Amino acid sequence: MPTGRLREVAGLLVEAYGWEILYLTGLALDLHDFQYNGLYSEGLASRYADLRDVERGVRHLAEETKEWANRLRAQSKKD
């Protein structure tokens, strides 16, 4: 799926999975942009001007995604 459509798809999934999916998608896309654009002190080509912010974003995305997946797994076992 093209990255340009991910926010749209996440928006469609909000009703079923909550706003968190839209937030996590946005964070993942910001990190994806960083992968291509690197650091940029003025914030024009990248949302990140410091590697510590990138690391914090990666860790947060990984933790939140893991928690989200665990909740979905637990919910599917109930159904």
Enter the pTM of the model: 0.82
Residues 22-31 as b/e (b if ≥16 CB within 10 A, e otherwise) read: bebbebbbbb
61: three-class secondary structure by DSSP: helix
Residue 43 has pLDDT above 60, yes or no: no
Tokens 């994806």, located at residue: 32
Model pLDDT for residues 11-32, shown as the tens digit of each residue: 999 998 889 999 999 999 999 9
User: How many CB atoms lie under 10 A from the CB of residue 48?
Assistant: 22
Rounded Cα–Cα distance for residues 23 and 46 (Å): 18
Tokens of 29: 């896309």
User: How many CB atoms lie under 10 A from the CB of residue 68?
Assistant: 15
